[in-house]
Amino acid sequence: MAQARRRSIGMSRPLIGLALGGGVARGWIHIGVMKRLIAAGYAPDVVAGTSIGAVVGGLYLAGHLDALEAWARSLTQDRVLTLLDINWGGNSLIVGEKLAAILRQYLADRCIETLTRPFVAVATDLQTGNEVWLRSGIIADALRASYALPGVFSPVVLDGAHLVDGAIVNPCPVNVARAQGGRFVIAVSLHSDHYGRRNGEETSAGTLHMGEEARRTWASTFESLRPDRLLLRQLFANIGTKTKGEPSLSSVMLSGLNILLDRVSRARLAGDPADVLISPPVGHIGLLEFHRADEMIALGEEAANEALPAIEARLSLLS
């Protein structure tokens, strides 16, 4: 019966917009959400994404969601660390070329205009603070600009503007999905339950736990650092440990970011709510725990499955 209703709705349903929010490693949840929505017959007609949400959404529309899923599931703690090409000078901690190269493997120089459905990656203009909607140009460049977290990745220069992570101004771009034609908008926010924990388990905002080989490599690097590299030493020195009491620099930075994005996201969603908000519990997942893709994809599928009755009911009112 439910499948019959979905087929009936699908024949006359309004355009579905999907807003995929930022959340760093938690973005793997988007993969699970999209898989379940597509399987249920609710493939989006319009996609707007911020940060990691832009990456997942852009690769989906380019036909590479399955490849992204396979790559995400292949990540280990040590492999994640090998993707961090440290910037020994300049305006960021990480150069980002290794990650950009992975995007280019899938997308080459393909442009947004070639996608079969509307897509927008949200970024922030570093000079003006304005929200920037990237709707044309090379997809890989737009994605890189959308996830360029200030201080971590260098700004991306497009059309003379220095662009950084769109989550600073619009963590979950519901308004963008509507503006691009989405009459019924499903949003996936990854900033609720910021304070959630598993059974009182102590966790950092995103600590990575490295294997012995990677630990030795980084330890060797630290030995050769000059005093002016103290910031990097402080940032990464506690990787792989769970210490009580005084938080590490990385914990302070990531917890601060988490709180900021949570507050901005709440404000934006209150002003422009989605028709259906998918907001899975994410407080137990660190912002840098990219190696937990299996768990996060399953969490996304579960969250989307729980939202299906609401999606079906509300779409039926508009059809």
pLDDT given at position 310: 97
- Between 139-146 and 97-107, two packed helices, what is the crossing angle to 10 degrees? 140
Assign 221 a pLDDT band (cuts: 50, 70, 90): low
Q: What is the DSSP letter of 241?
A: -
pLDDT given at position 193: 59
Q: What 3-state DSSP class applies to 72?
A: helix
Length of the chain: 319
Q: Is the pLDDT of residue 239 over 70?
A: no
Contacts with 94 (C-beta within 8 Å, 6 or more apart), sequence order: 84, 85, 86, 87, 152, 153
Assign 142 a pLDDT band (cuts: 50, 70, 90): very high
Which among 241, 234, 160 is positioned nearest to 207, based on CA atoms? 241
State the average pLDDT over residues 65-69. 98
Distances (CA, A) of 41 to 9, 27, 89, 91: 10, 22, 49, 45
Rounded Cα distance between 147 and 105, Å, is: 18
Rounded Cα distance between 195 and 255, Å, is: 10
pLDDT given at position 261: 76
Q: Is the pLDDT of residue 186 over 90?
A: yes
Q: Work out the percent of the chain whose per-residue pLDDT is above 90.
A: 58
pTM of this prediction?
A: 0.82
Bridging pattern class, strands 119-125 and 156-158? unpaired
CATH topology for 2-318 is: Cytosolic phospholipase A2 catalytic domain (3.40.1090)
**What's the sign of the alpha-carbon dihedral 264, 312, 7, 13?**
negative
Hunting for tokens 């793997």 — which residue is that? 28
Contacts with 268 (C-beta within 8 Å, 6 or more apart), sequence order: 170, 171, 172, 174, 175
236, containing H or E segment: helix 230-236
Count of H-run helices and E-run strands, the chain: 12, 8
Rounded Cα distance between 275 and 266, Å, is: 15
Query: Which amino acid, 107?
Result: L
Query: Which amino acid, 304?
Result: A
- The residue from 51, 154, 204, 279 that is catalytic is 51
Rounded Cα distance between 304 and 313, Å, is: 14
The domain segmentation of the chain, as residue ranges, is 2-318
Query: Which amino acid, 27?
Result: G
pLDDT given at position 271: 81
Contact indicator for 187, 19 with CB cutoff of 8 Å: yes
Q: Residue 246 has which token pair?
A: 């005084």
- Is 251 a known active-site residue? no
Q: Is the pLDDT of residue 172 over 90?
A: yes
pLDDT given at position 168: 92
The DSSP bridge partners found for residue 132 are: 123
- The residue from 92, 141, 146, 165 that is catalytic is 165
Q: How many CA atoms lie within 13 A of 82 on its CB side?
A: 10
- Is 204 a known active-site residue? no
